[in-house]
Structure 1
Protein backbone atom coordinates (compact mmCIF):
# COMPACT_ATOMS: atom_id res chain seq x y z
CA UNK A 1 0.00 0.00 0.00
CA UNK A 2 2.65 2.54 1.06
CA UNK A 3 4.74 1.70 -1.99
CA UNK A 4 1.81 2.39 -4.31
CA UNK A 5 1.04 5.68 -2.55
CA UNK A 6 4.71 6.60 -2.91
CA UNK A 7 4.67 5.72 -6.62
CA UNK A 8 1.48 7.74 -7.12
CA UNK A 9 3.37 10.73 -5.69
CA UNK A 10 6.33 9.99 -7.95
CA UNK A 11 4.03 9.85 -10.98
CA UNK A 12 2.49 13.16 -9.91
CA UNK A 13 5.88 14.86 -9.67
CA UNK A 14 6.84 13.31 -13.02
CA UNK A 15 3.59 14.64 -14.55
CA UNK A 16 2.65 11.10 -15.58
CA UNK A 17 -0.98 11.42 -14.66
CA UNK A 18 -2.30 8.31 -16.39
CA UNK A 19 0.24 6.31 -14.38
CA UNK A 20 -0.77 8.19 -11.23
CA UNK A 21 -4.40 7.22 -11.74
CA UNK A 22 -3.32 3.61 -12.40
CA UNK A 23 -1.55 3.50 -9.03
CA UNK A 24 -4.50 5.11 -7.27
CA UNK A 25 -6.94 2.66 -8.84
CA UNK A 26 -4.81 -0.21 -7.52
CA UNK A 27 -4.85 1.37 -4.05
CA UNK A 28 -8.65 1.55 -4.12
CA UNK A 29 -8.88 -2.06 -5.34
CA UNK A 30 -6.68 -3.23 -2.47
CA UNK A 31 -8.89 -1.56 0.17
CA UNK A 32 -12.07 -3.21 1.42
CA UNK A 33 -13.09 0.04 3.13
CA UNK A 34 -12.87 3.70 2.22
CA UNK A 35 -9.41 5.14 1.56
CA UNK A 36 -7.71 7.74 3.76
CA UNK A 37 -8.02 11.49 3.30
CA UNK A 38 -4.42 11.50 2.07
CA UNK A 39 -5.38 9.15 -0.77
CA UNK A 40 -8.55 11.18 -1.44
CA UNK A 41 -6.37 14.27 -1.92
CA UNK A 42 -4.20 12.33 -4.34
CA UNK A 43 -7.32 11.22 -6.20
CA UNK A 44 -8.40 14.84 -6.59
CA UNK A 45 -4.99 15.85 -7.93
CA UNK A 46 -4.54 12.86 -10.21
CA UNK A 47 -8.01 12.98 -11.73
CA UNK A 48 -7.93 16.76 -12.28
CA UNK A 49 -4.53 16.63 -13.97
CA UNK A 50 -5.56 13.65 -16.09
CA UNK A 51 -8.07 15.85 -17.93
CA UNK A 52 -6.47 19.29 -17.60
CA UNK A 53 -4.57 19.04 -20.88
CA UNK A 54 -7.73 18.22 -22.85
CA UNK A 55 -9.76 20.99 -21.19
CA UNK A 56 -7.05 23.54 -21.91
CA UNK A 57 -6.46 22.30 -25.46
CA UNK A 58 -10.17 22.42 -26.31
CA UNK A 59 -10.47 26.04 -25.14
CA UNK A 60 -7.37 27.02 -27.11
CA UNK A 61 -8.61 25.44 -30.35
CA UNK A 62 -12.05 26.94 -29.80
CA UNK A 63 -10.55 30.43 -29.45
CA UNK A 64 -8.59 29.98 -32.67
CA UNK A 65 -11.68 28.67 -34.47
CA UNK A 66 -13.66 31.75 -33.44
CA UNK A 67 -10.95 34.14 -34.64
CA UNK A 68 -12.10 35.66 -37.93
CA UNK A 69 -8.51 35.79 -39.07
CA UNK A 70 -8.50 31.99 -39.30
CA UNK A 71 -12.00 31.55 -40.77
CA UNK A 72 -10.72 29.43 -43.65
CA UNK A 73 -9.51 26.82 -41.15
CA UNK A 74 -12.70 26.68 -39.07
CA UNK A 75 -13.67 23.20 -40.35
CA UNK A 76 -10.21 21.86 -39.51
CA UNK A 77 -10.44 23.32 -36.01
CA UNK A 78 -13.93 21.87 -35.56
CA UNK A 79 -12.66 18.42 -36.51
CA UNK A 80 -9.72 18.76 -34.13
CA UNK A 81 -12.07 19.82 -31.33
CA UNK A 82 -14.04 16.60 -31.82
CA UNK A 83 -10.85 14.58 -31.35
CA UNK A 84 -9.99 16.43 -28.14
CA UNK A 85 -13.57 16.15 -26.89
CA UNK A 86 -13.49 12.38 -27.39
CA UNK A 87 -10.28 12.14 -25.36
CA UNK A 88 -11.78 14.27 -22.60
CA UNK A 89 -14.96 12.19 -22.52
CA UNK A 90 -12.92 8.98 -22.30
CA UNK A 91 -10.81 10.23 -19.40
CA UNK A 92 -13.80 11.68 -17.54
CA UNK A 93 -15.61 8.39 -18.05
CA UNK A 94 -12.68 6.54 -16.53
CA UNK A 95 -12.76 8.77 -13.45
CA UNK A 96 -16.53 8.39 -13.09
CA UNK A 97 -16.30 4.61 -13.32
CA UNK A 98 -13.51 4.43 -10.72
CA UNK A 99 -15.51 6.53 -8.29
CA UNK A 100 -18.88 4.92 -9.00
CA UNK A 101 -17.87 1.29 -9.17
CA UNK A 102 -15.02 1.24 -6.67
CA UNK A 103 -14.95 4.17 -4.28
CA UNK A 104 -18.69 4.52 -3.57
CA UNK A 105 -19.02 0.80 -2.85
CA UNK A 106 -16.39 0.72 -0.07
CA UNK A 107 -17.97 -0.24 3.24
CA UNK A 108 -20.19 2.10 5.22
CA UNK A 109 -19.25 5.57 4.00
CA UNK A 110 -19.92 8.51 6.29
CA UNK A 111 -21.73 11.56 4.92
CA UNK A 112 -18.51 13.49 4.30
CA UNK A 113 -17.09 10.68 2.17
CA UNK A 114 -20.38 10.41 0.27
CA UNK A 115 -20.29 14.15 -0.46
CA UNK A 116 -16.69 13.88 -1.65
CA UNK A 117 -17.41 11.07 -4.10
CA UNK A 118 -20.85 12.17 -5.30
CA UNK A 119 -19.57 15.71 -5.91
CA UNK A 120 -16.61 14.29 -7.82
CA UNK A 121 -18.91 12.33 -10.15
CA UNK A 122 -20.99 15.47 -10.70
CA UNK A 123 -17.82 17.42 -11.46
CA UNK A 124 -16.62 14.98 -14.12
CA UNK A 125 -19.98 14.86 -15.84
CA UNK A 126 -19.81 18.68 -15.83
CA UNK A 127 -16.33 18.61 -17.36
CA UNK A 128 -17.62 16.22 -20.04
CA UNK A 129 -20.45 18.66 -20.75
CA UNK A 130 -17.97 21.46 -21.42
CA UNK A 131 -17.23 20.00 -24.87
CA UNK A 132 -20.32 17.84 -25.51
CA UNK A 133 -23.09 18.68 -27.96
CA UNK A 134 -26.65 17.62 -28.75
CA UNK A 135 -28.08 14.61 -26.95
CA UNK A 136 -24.73 13.87 -25.28
CA UNK A 137 -24.73 17.35 -23.74
CA UNK A 138 -28.27 16.84 -22.43
CA UNK A 139 -27.35 13.42 -21.01
CA UNK A 140 -24.19 14.43 -19.15
CA UNK A 141 -25.75 17.68 -17.91
CA UNK A 142 -28.64 15.75 -16.38
CA UNK A 143 -26.23 13.21 -14.91
CA UNK A 144 -24.19 16.00 -13.34
CA UNK A 145 -27.30 17.49 -11.76
CA UNK A 146 -28.39 14.10 -10.42
CA UNK A 147 -25.12 13.53 -8.59
CA UNK A 148 -24.83 17.12 -7.38
CA UNK A 149 -28.35 16.76 -5.96
CA UNK A 150 -27.40 13.51 -4.23
CA UNK A 151 -24.27 15.14 -2.83
CA UNK A 152 -26.35 18.07 -1.56
CA UNK A 153 -28.65 15.67 0.29
CA UNK A 154 -25.67 13.91 1.88
CA UNK A 155 -24.16 17.28 2.85
CA UNK A 156 -27.19 18.28 4.94
CA UNK A 157 -25.64 16.78 8.08
CA UNK A 158 -22.26 18.52 7.63
CA UNK A 159 -21.30 21.79 9.26
CA UNK A 160 -21.86 24.85 7.05
CA UNK A 161 -18.13 25.59 7.00
CA UNK A 162 -17.11 22.03 6.07
CA UNK A 163 -14.76 22.36 3.10
CA UNK A 164 -16.41 19.51 1.15
CA UNK A 165 -19.83 21.10 1.65
CA UNK A 166 -18.55 24.52 0.59
CA UNK A 167 -16.72 23.04 -2.40
CA UNK A 168 -19.93 21.32 -3.46
CA UNK A 169 -21.84 24.62 -3.24
CA UNK A 170 -19.13 26.32 -5.30
CA UNK A 171 -19.17 23.73 -8.08
CA UNK A 172 -22.94 23.23 -8.10
CA UNK A 173 -23.47 26.98 -8.40
CA UNK A 174 -21.00 27.10 -11.30
CA UNK A 175 -22.92 24.21 -12.90
CA UNK A 176 -26.14 26.23 -12.81
CA UNK A 177 -24.43 29.35 -14.10
CA UNK A 178 -22.44 27.77 -16.93
CA UNK A 179 -24.52 24.79 -18.06
CA UNK A 180 -28.05 25.73 -17.05
CA UNK A 181 -27.64 29.46 -17.77
CA UNK A 182 -29.49 30.04 -14.51
CA UNK A 183 -27.67 32.80 -12.66
CA UNK A 184 -30.51 33.17 -10.14
CA UNK A 185 -30.15 29.55 -8.99
CA UNK A 186 -26.37 29.89 -8.99
CA UNK A 187 -26.64 32.96 -6.75
CA UNK A 188 -29.13 31.21 -4.48
CA UNK A 189 -26.79 28.25 -3.88
CA UNK A 190 -23.71 30.44 -3.36
CA UNK A 191 -25.54 32.85 -1.05
CA UNK A 192 -26.98 30.06 1.10
CA UNK A 193 -23.54 28.50 1.52
CA UNK A 194 -21.95 31.83 2.42
CA UNK A 195 -24.66 32.75 4.91
CA UNK A 196 -24.35 29.38 6.65
CA UNK A 197 -20.56 29.61 6.86
CA UNK A 198 -20.66 33.18 8.19
CA UNK A 199 -23.10 32.21 10.94
CA UNK A 200 -20.71 29.60 12.34
CA UNK A 201 -17.31 30.91 11.25
CA UNK A 202 -16.24 31.53 14.85
CA UNK A 203 -16.55 27.82 15.59
CA UNK A 204 -13.89 26.84 13.03
CA UNK A 205 -10.49 25.62 14.21
CA UNK A 206 -7.33 26.61 12.34
CA UNK A 207 -7.33 23.65 9.93
CA UNK A 208 -11.00 24.07 9.09
CA UNK A 209 -10.56 27.80 8.61
CA UNK A 210 -7.63 27.34 6.26
CA UNK A 211 -9.55 24.94 4.03
CA UNK A 212 -12.84 26.83 4.19
CA UNK A 213 -11.75 30.44 3.74
CA UNK A 214 -10.24 29.96 0.28
CA UNK A 215 -13.51 28.40 -0.95
CA UNK A 216 -15.54 31.13 0.75
CA UNK A 217 -13.51 33.72 -1.13
CA UNK A 218 -14.25 32.04 -4.47
CA UNK A 219 -17.95 31.87 -3.62
CA UNK A 220 -17.91 35.60 -2.81
CA UNK A 221 -16.15 36.48 -6.05
CA UNK A 222 -18.60 34.46 -8.14
CA UNK A 223 -21.62 35.82 -6.28
CA UNK A 224 -20.48 39.42 -6.72
CA UNK A 225 -19.89 38.86 -10.44
CA UNK A 226 -23.20 37.11 -11.02
CA UNK A 227 -25.20 39.71 -9.10
CA UNK A 228 -23.46 42.48 -11.04
CA UNK A 229 -24.42 40.77 -14.31
CA UNK A 230 -28.01 40.36 -13.14
CA UNK A 231 -28.12 44.05 -12.25
CA UNK A 232 -26.76 45.05 -15.65
CA UNK A 233 -29.35 42.88 -17.41
CA UNK A 234 -32.13 44.45 -15.33
CA UNK A 235 -30.92 47.93 -16.25
CA UNK A 236 -30.91 47.01 -19.96
CA UNK A 237 -34.44 45.63 -19.68
CA UNK A 238 -35.67 48.88 -18.12
CA UNK A 239 -34.13 50.93 -20.92
CA UNK A 240 -35.83 48.91 -23.65
Structure 2
Protein backbone atom coordinates (compact mmCIF):
# COMPACT_ATOMS: atom_id res chain seq x y z
CA UNK A 1 0.00 0.00 0.00
CA UNK A 2 2.70 2.51 1.00
CA UNK A 3 4.66 1.71 -2.17
CA UNK A 4 1.62 2.46 -4.33
CA UNK A 5 0.97 5.73 -2.50
CA UNK A 6 4.60 6.65 -3.07
CA UNK A 7 4.33 5.79 -6.76
CA UNK A 8 1.13 7.83 -7.08
CA UNK A 9 3.08 10.81 -5.74
CA UNK A 10 5.93 10.04 -8.16
CA UNK A 11 3.48 9.94 -11.08
CA UNK A 12 2.07 13.27 -9.91
CA UNK A 13 5.54 14.84 -9.90
CA UNK A 14 6.22 13.34 -13.33
CA UNK A 15 2.85 14.72 -14.57
CA UNK A 16 1.82 11.20 -15.59
CA UNK A 17 -1.77 11.54 -14.47
CA UNK A 18 -3.16 8.46 -16.20
CA UNK A 19 -0.59 6.43 -14.27
CA UNK A 20 -1.36 8.34 -11.08
CA UNK A 21 -5.05 7.48 -11.35
CA UNK A 22 -4.19 3.84 -12.03
CA UNK A 23 -2.06 3.68 -8.88
CA UNK A 24 -4.81 5.35 -6.86
CA UNK A 25 -7.44 2.95 -8.17
CA UNK A 26 -5.25 0.06 -7.00
CA UNK A 27 -4.95 1.69 -3.57
CA UNK A 28 -8.74 1.99 -3.31
CA UNK A 29 -9.15 -1.63 -4.40
CA UNK A 30 -6.63 -2.82 -1.80
CA UNK A 31 -8.16 -0.84 1.07
CA UNK A 32 -10.47 -2.82 3.33
CA UNK A 33 -12.28 0.35 4.36
CA UNK A 34 -12.30 3.94 3.22
CA UNK A 35 -8.95 5.55 2.42
CA UNK A 36 -7.59 8.29 4.69
CA UNK A 37 -7.74 12.02 4.06
CA UNK A 38 -4.28 12.15 2.47
CA UNK A 39 -5.25 9.56 -0.14
CA UNK A 40 -8.57 11.33 -0.74
CA UNK A 41 -6.61 14.50 -1.45
CA UNK A 42 -4.41 12.56 -3.87
CA UNK A 43 -7.54 11.28 -5.59
CA UNK A 44 -8.76 14.85 -5.97
CA UNK A 45 -5.43 15.98 -7.45
CA UNK A 46 -5.06 13.00 -9.75
CA UNK A 47 -8.59 13.14 -11.12
CA UNK A 48 -8.50 16.91 -11.63
CA UNK A 49 -5.21 16.79 -13.50
CA UNK A 50 -6.37 13.84 -15.60
CA UNK A 51 -8.97 16.06 -17.28
CA UNK A 52 -7.52 19.58 -16.88
CA UNK A 53 -5.60 19.46 -20.16
CA UNK A 54 -8.67 18.35 -22.09
CA UNK A 55 -10.92 20.98 -20.49
CA UNK A 56 -8.39 23.66 -21.38
CA UNK A 57 -7.87 22.29 -24.91
CA UNK A 58 -11.61 22.14 -25.59
CA UNK A 59 -12.05 25.79 -24.56
CA UNK A 60 -9.03 26.88 -26.63
CA UNK A 61 -10.30 25.18 -29.79
CA UNK A 62 -13.77 26.61 -29.20
CA UNK A 63 -12.32 30.13 -29.00
CA UNK A 64 -10.42 29.64 -32.27
CA UNK A 65 -13.50 28.14 -33.91
CA UNK A 66 -15.57 31.19 -32.97
CA UNK A 67 -12.95 33.64 -34.26
CA UNK A 68 -14.18 35.14 -37.54
CA UNK A 69 -10.60 35.27 -38.85
CA UNK A 70 -10.62 31.49 -39.05
CA UNK A 71 -14.11 31.03 -40.53
CA UNK A 72 -12.71 28.87 -43.35
CA UNK A 73 -11.56 26.31 -40.80
CA UNK A 74 -14.63 26.34 -38.59
CA UNK A 75 -15.77 22.82 -39.51
CA UNK A 76 -12.27 21.41 -38.96
CA UNK A 77 -12.09 23.03 -35.52
CA UNK A 78 -15.59 21.80 -34.68
CA UNK A 79 -14.60 18.23 -35.56
CA UNK A 80 -11.39 18.47 -33.52
CA UNK A 81 -13.25 19.96 -30.57
CA UNK A 82 -15.66 17.03 -30.74
CA UNK A 83 -12.75 14.59 -30.53
CA UNK A 84 -11.40 16.36 -27.44
CA UNK A 85 -14.88 16.40 -25.92
CA UNK A 86 -15.19 12.62 -26.35
CA UNK A 87 -11.84 12.11 -24.59
CA UNK A 88 -12.94 14.42 -21.78
CA UNK A 89 -16.25 12.59 -21.38
CA UNK A 90 -14.45 9.23 -21.32
CA UNK A 91 -12.05 10.31 -18.59
CA UNK A 92 -14.85 11.89 -16.54
CA UNK A 93 -16.78 8.61 -16.82
CA UNK A 94 -13.69 6.73 -15.59
CA UNK A 95 -13.48 8.99 -12.54
CA UNK A 96 -17.21 8.75 -11.82
CA UNK A 97 -17.11 4.96 -11.99
CA UNK A 98 -14.13 4.72 -9.63
CA UNK A 99 -15.73 7.04 -7.09
CA UNK A 100 -19.28 5.67 -7.37
CA UNK A 101 -18.49 1.97 -7.51
CA UNK A 102 -15.43 1.80 -5.24
CA UNK A 103 -14.79 4.85 -3.04
CA UNK A 104 -18.36 5.69 -2.07
CA UNK A 105 -19.16 2.08 -1.20
CA UNK A 106 -16.51 2.10 1.53
CA UNK A 107 -17.28 5.55 2.95
CA UNK A 108 -18.53 5.51 6.55
CA UNK A 109 -18.17 9.08 7.82
CA UNK A 110 -20.45 11.90 6.68
CA UNK A 111 -17.54 14.03 5.49
CA UNK A 112 -16.21 11.24 3.28
CA UNK A 113 -19.68 10.67 1.80
CA UNK A 114 -20.01 14.38 1.03
CA UNK A 115 -16.54 14.41 -0.50
CA UNK A 116 -17.33 11.53 -2.87
CA UNK A 117 -20.90 12.57 -3.75
CA UNK A 118 -19.68 16.09 -4.50
CA UNK A 119 -16.90 14.66 -6.67
CA UNK A 120 -19.38 12.64 -8.72
CA UNK A 121 -21.46 15.79 -9.19
CA UNK A 122 -18.35 17.72 -10.20
CA UNK A 123 -17.36 15.25 -12.92
CA UNK A 124 -20.85 15.16 -14.37
CA UNK A 125 -20.62 18.96 -14.43
CA UNK A 126 -17.25 18.85 -16.19
CA UNK A 127 -18.73 16.43 -18.75
CA UNK A 128 -21.55 18.90 -19.34
CA UNK A 129 -19.09 21.64 -20.34
CA UNK A 130 -18.56 19.96 -23.72
CA UNK A 131 -21.82 17.98 -24.04
CA UNK A 132 -24.82 18.75 -26.25
CA UNK A 133 -28.37 17.54 -26.73
CA UNK A 134 -29.52 14.46 -24.84
CA UNK A 135 -26.08 13.89 -23.31
CA UNK A 136 -26.07 17.43 -21.89
CA UNK A 137 -29.52 16.95 -20.38
CA UNK A 138 -28.55 13.60 -18.85
CA UNK A 139 -25.26 14.68 -17.27
CA UNK A 140 -26.80 17.92 -16.00
CA UNK A 141 -29.53 15.98 -14.22
CA UNK A 142 -26.98 13.54 -12.82
CA UNK A 143 -24.86 16.41 -11.52
CA UNK A 144 -27.93 17.87 -9.81
CA UNK A 145 -28.80 14.47 -8.30
CA UNK A 146 -25.39 13.95 -6.73
CA UNK A 147 -24.99 17.55 -5.55
CA UNK A 148 -28.39 17.20 -3.85
CA UNK A 149 -27.35 13.91 -2.24
CA UNK A 150 -24.08 15.46 -1.07
CA UNK A 151 -25.97 18.39 0.46
CA UNK A 152 -28.25 16.02 2.41
CA UNK A 153 -25.28 13.89 3.52
CA UNK A 154 -23.60 17.03 4.90
CA UNK A 155 -26.51 18.18 7.06
CA UNK A 156 -24.66 17.32 10.29
CA UNK A 157 -21.29 18.78 9.27
CA UNK A 158 -20.22 22.09 10.79
CA UNK A 159 -21.07 25.04 8.52
CA UNK A 160 -17.38 25.99 8.27
CA UNK A 161 -16.29 22.46 7.33
CA UNK A 162 -14.14 22.89 4.22
CA UNK A 163 -15.71 19.93 2.39
CA UNK A 164 -19.19 21.34 3.03
CA UNK A 165 -18.09 24.82 1.93
CA UNK A 166 -16.46 23.37 -1.21
CA UNK A 167 -19.74 21.64 -2.03
CA UNK A 168 -21.65 24.91 -1.70
CA UNK A 169 -19.10 26.62 -3.94
CA UNK A 170 -19.36 24.03 -6.71
CA UNK A 171 -23.12 23.54 -6.39
CA UNK A 172 -23.67 27.29 -6.74
CA UNK A 173 -21.42 27.35 -9.83
CA UNK A 174 -23.49 24.48 -11.25
CA UNK A 175 -26.67 26.55 -10.94
CA UNK A 176 -25.00 29.61 -12.41
CA UNK A 177 -23.25 27.95 -15.35
CA UNK A 178 -25.45 24.97 -16.28
CA UNK A 179 -28.89 25.95 -15.04
CA UNK A 180 -28.47 29.67 -15.84
CA UNK A 181 -30.13 30.33 -12.49
CA UNK A 182 -28.13 33.10 -10.84
CA UNK A 183 -30.80 33.58 -8.17
CA UNK A 184 -30.44 29.97 -6.94
CA UNK A 185 -26.65 30.21 -7.22
CA UNK A 186 -26.67 33.31 -5.02
CA UNK A 187 -29.01 31.65 -2.54
CA UNK A 188 -26.72 28.63 -2.08
CA UNK A 189 -23.59 30.77 -1.77
CA UNK A 190 -25.24 33.23 0.64
CA UNK A 191 -26.70 30.55 2.89
CA UNK A 192 -23.30 28.84 3.10
CA UNK A 193 -21.50 32.08 3.87
CA UNK A 194 -23.97 33.15 6.54
CA UNK A 195 -23.76 29.75 8.24
CA UNK A 196 -19.97 29.87 8.30
CA UNK A 197 -19.89 33.44 9.61
CA UNK A 198 -22.16 32.56 12.54
CA UNK A 199 -19.76 29.85 13.71
CA UNK A 200 -16.44 31.36 12.60
CA UNK A 201 -15.29 31.95 16.18
CA UNK A 202 -15.43 28.21 16.83
CA UNK A 203 -12.83 27.39 14.16
CA UNK A 204 -9.35 26.32 15.16
CA UNK A 205 -6.33 27.42 13.11
CA UNK A 206 -6.30 24.42 10.79
CA UNK A 207 -10.03 24.63 10.13
CA UNK A 208 -9.74 28.36 9.51
CA UNK A 209 -6.92 27.93 7.00
CA UNK A 210 -8.90 25.39 4.99
CA UNK A 211 -12.20 27.27 5.21
CA UNK A 212 -11.21 30.88 4.62
CA UNK A 213 -9.89 30.39 1.07
CA UNK A 214 -13.20 28.78 0.04
CA UNK A 215 -15.18 31.48 1.85
CA UNK A 216 -13.29 34.09 -0.16
CA UNK A 217 -14.18 32.36 -3.44
CA UNK A 218 -17.83 32.15 -2.39
CA UNK A 219 -17.82 35.87 -1.60
CA UNK A 220 -16.20 36.75 -4.91
CA UNK A 221 -18.75 34.74 -6.87
CA UNK A 222 -21.66 36.11 -4.86
CA UNK A 223 -20.55 39.71 -5.38
CA UNK A 224 -20.10 39.11 -9.13
CA UNK A 225 -23.45 37.38 -9.58
CA UNK A 226 -25.35 40.00 -7.59
CA UNK A 227 -23.72 42.75 -9.62
CA UNK A 228 -24.76 41.02 -12.85
CA UNK A 229 -28.31 40.65 -11.56
CA UNK A 230 -28.41 44.35 -10.63
CA UNK A 231 -27.08 45.36 -14.05
CA UNK A 232 -29.67 43.13 -15.70
CA UNK A 233 -32.44 44.86 -13.75
CA UNK A 234 -31.05 48.24 -14.77
CA UNK A 235 -31.07 47.22 -18.45
CA UNK A 236 -34.74 46.40 -18.22
Gaps of at least 5 residues in structure 1 are none
User: 1:54-92 deviations in whole A, cap 9, x for unaligned?
Assistant: 000000000000100001111001000110000000000
| In 1: Cα distance, 2:31 partner to 2:140 partner | 31
Q: Give the Cα separation in 1 of the matches to 2:23 and 2:225.
A: 40
Correspondence 1:12 to 2:12: yes
Is 1:56 aligned to residue 67 of structure 2?
A: no
Partner of 2:162: 163
Cα distance in 1 for partners of 2:74, 2:183 equals 35
Gaps of 5+ in 2: none
Q: TM-score, normalised by structure 1?
A: 0.98
Q: Distance in 2 between matches of 1:43 and 1:29?
A: 13
Listed one character per residue, the Cα deviations across residues 127-146 of structure 1 (whole Å, up to 9, x for unaligned) are: 00000000000000000000
Partner residue in 2 for 1:123: 122
Structure-to-structure mapping, 1:1-240, within 5 angstroms = 1-106=1-106, 109-237=108-236
Post-superposition CA distance 1:194-231 (Å, at most 9, x none): 00000000100000000000000000000000000000
Deviations 1:85-132 (A, max 9, x none): 0000000000000000000111x5111010000000000000000000
Query: Using the alignment, how far apart are the partners of 1:203 and 1:49 within structure 2?
Result: 34
Distance in 2 between the 1:109 and 1:63 partners? 44
Give runs of ≥4 in structure 1 deviating > 3 Å.
Answer: none
**Structure 2 Cα separation of the partners of residues 221 and 104 of structure 1:** 31
- Count the aligned residue pairs: 236
Secondary structure in 2 matching 1:156: coil
What TM-score do you get using the length of structure 2 for normalisation? 0.99
* Distance in 2 separating the partners of 1:235 and 1:105: 50
